[in-house]
Amino acid sequence: MQTAFYNTGSIYLLLKHPHIILNSNIRMEVIRDKAEMRAWSRRMRRDGKSLVLVPTMGYLHEGHLSLVREARSHADVIVVSVYVNPGQFAPSEDLSTYPSDMQGDLQKLSQMGVVQAVFCPRNLYDYDSPGPLAVPPRHHLSVVSGEEQAQISCIEKESAHETWIKVERLEKGMCGASRPVFFRGVATVVTKLFHIVEPDVAIFGKKDYQQWRIISRMVRDLDFAIEIVGSEIVREADGLAMSSRNVRLSPRNRKQALSIYKALSEAKVGVSKGRILSQEIKDSIVQTVSDSGGRMDYVEIVEQESLTPVEKIDCSVVICIAAWFGDVRLIDNMEIDAPAVL
Ligand code: AMP
């Protein structure tokens, strides 16, 4: 058993004694073990409760908390998972510098007073018995080229895990083009979380638009009995989309990063005035972001569900951007619904 109950005064005790049970009005269980998580969920179900899962990688901000608020209207019991998934990071990416603050996360979730369980596994790829047919780790980073490293995740480095979920077409463009193992890793860890938590509903932020669409497609294609809900982007007062990575921006880069929201907002106004040629809009966006000092990774204008690029905005689209500010890569997007452009 690796369960703890948690209230705001108990952080120290929780971290020191993960099994400690504290009395409070709102009992939030902190579960580290996957079998325990599954057993907990099943107990809830036996009691007739429906479950909603909010998957996160922690370092929680208002964007994450808005998903928890959204979750309240979708099921009886809210489970939040906090797990930085090595399966979606290539060895060259920022897994080692990804911010974390478990203590702060538990405090924020506890203060909301609506979360019944936090699932924070140590390692989701640590299998008790590899079995006779398990393969040894296939890639040793010291002997693979830089190009090959982009094609493997941090998991291949040290685990015999070899099963991956790929949403073939949707994962190819945009973030999938610059991060070849990213969506394979996301779809796989989300599948693992779904099998462990067994929720009825799961909430994803539209901030990660392509991710939300990929998970929705995966759930449809593989007949998961789970409803996927997309929740709106939460921004800072000045428009910057909230992200755990924002904390790594220097003050200068933080200012420059505002160009993303500026470019997206200008594009939306432009469209409402009849400027509907995608290439023209993308050129302006690239200009705005580059002028600020940012380095564009991609900008795409795609149909909202299929994520197919459009030449003209004559249907509901989303403009998706990824750009670098210093060594921090940020993503953002803006939906433009068809009625606004017809
Ligand atoms: P992450 O911890 O970055 O993996 O994000 C966990 C979930 O929170 C994902 O579904 C994200 O889309 C969502 N999320 C992150 N930032 C925001 C935001 N600013 N607004 C809404 N949802 C967000």
What pLDDT digit, counting tens, does each position of 97-150 carry? 999 999 999 999 999 999 999 999 999 998 876 554 444 555 444 555 566 666
> For 8-12, 218-222, 288-292, which range has the lowest pLDDT when averaged over its residues?
8-12
Question: Relative to the CA of 207, which ligand 1 atom is closest?
Answer: 12
Establish whether 64 is a catalytic residue: yes
* pLDDT given at position 19: 39
240 ligand 1 Cβ < 6 A? no
- What one-letter code names the amino acid at 8? T
243: CA distance to ligand 1 center in Å? 7
> Looking at the chain, which runs of residues are DSSP E strands?
3-6, 28-31, 51-56, 77-82, 115-119, 201-205, 227-231, 295-303, 317-325, 328-336
Q: Which pLDDT score is estimated for 7?
A: 54
Our answer on whether the CB atom of 182 is closer than 6 Å to any ligand 1 atom is: no
Pocket test of ligand 1: the residue of 56, 64, 98, 175 to mutate, having most ligand atoms within 8 Å of its CB, is 64
CB of residue 208 inside a 6 A radius of ligand 1? yes
For the chain, percent of residues with pLDDT exceeding 90: 79
Res 158 pLDDT > 90: no
For the CA atoms of 137, 99, 94, 284, the dihedral, rounded to the nearest 10 degrees, stands at: 140
Q: Which of 7-16, 54-63, 118-127 has the lowest mean pLDDT?
A: 7-16
Mutate to test the pocket of ligand 1, among 208, 229, 335 (most ligand atoms within 8 A of CB): 208
Query: Which pLDDT tens digit goes with each residue over 283-310?
Result: 999 999 999 999 999 999 999 999 999 9
pLDDT score at 148: 61
Query: In what side-by-side order are the strands of the sheet with 317-325?
Result: 295-303, 317-325, 328-336
pLDDT of 237-281, one tens digit each? 999 999 999 999 999 999 999 999 999 999 999 999 999 999 999
Q: Does 340 score more than 80 pLDDT?
A: no
User: 204 in ligand 1 pocket by Cβ < 6 Å?
Assistant: yes
